[in-house]
Structure 1
């Protein structure tokens, strides 16, 4: 037996084997959404397509005992495929919503009482208490856990024991103001045109609605009166 004859026999055997698989694929019919019997080997290899078909089979089970042939609804199948594809996203959204509900039920800490004439520092629009990446792998810094409303510098001193003249901001400086705080002072500018009630302003106010007469029920039109009298 020559080498050429051996190669030819091998090629013929492979061809017959392939033809047998192709013929088996054409002859055997399988239910849509269910893997064929000859695809068990591919399923063992972890075929993603077959996993999706198995999930669809669970969503739409085949009724073997039914004598009525039912057509597969493409819309429902697409909906099931989208649900299977987005299953992990839905679970992640559910976890986020659940976590938000748990956090909302936790009692918030009482705001710290600030001292007299203490400076207020806003934490900023870009304040971060958590990690700055989506995967939360970078972690957070210990500085974010500090109390940003705590007094610092001159604010640690009790200014209530100071004389009245010293209870101002920037005492002894050229840029100091004569005002202490809004609770103690009335900073309304009565010379402002919007607050000064001169004759021109009084005439303008008199033309406003509800200034001359009491607010009463509208009289209505003639058609409405005729309709009510019927």
Structure 2
């Protein structure tokens, strides 16, 4: 989905932007913004005939007449795409407000569960770090099965600015989502060094392995 700040920027220019959400498996969209009720960073309400809910682990589940029947000649993949009650497993982590307006917060496979037991989607925190720290190109948050969250910042940044921005962000977050430690990566993340995919997405497993020694030191 389009980032909240980007959507607000377009609106400041007088250009309304409306969002939808869907998968190939939902045969197009499952949610859609209503022009008079659109909220930046959210993807709208469920379209008629479609039901959405959040599973206990935070995953968005969908069912309705628009859901596909299955993968061509692949019964195992089809079975894995649904839970026992027939809901489609999207793989996306989501939340919904009291009006029924949905927001996609990340991928369930990226969810961090620190020792506090909370489920934390790292993507919104990472996005805020990149958007607020001057010169930051990427940020990755670690903390699965750890006592707190740690951020690694990539880019030509000033450490004083990083400290100030992290403190400001933490003041807006609940205690279990706050960044307790951070450090600046000595190199930029790129596909060439194996830390990003070809389309510039974080390779989280590779990043955790790459910074293993430093992370072990942080959590020692």
Note whether the superposition's TM-score is higher than 0.5: no
Structure (1/2) with the larger strand percentage: 2
* TM-score (normalizing by structure 1): 0.17
Q: Which has the higher contact order (CA 8 A, sep 6+)?
A: 2
* TM-score (normalizing by structure 2): 0.18
Structure (1/2) with the larger helix percentage: 1
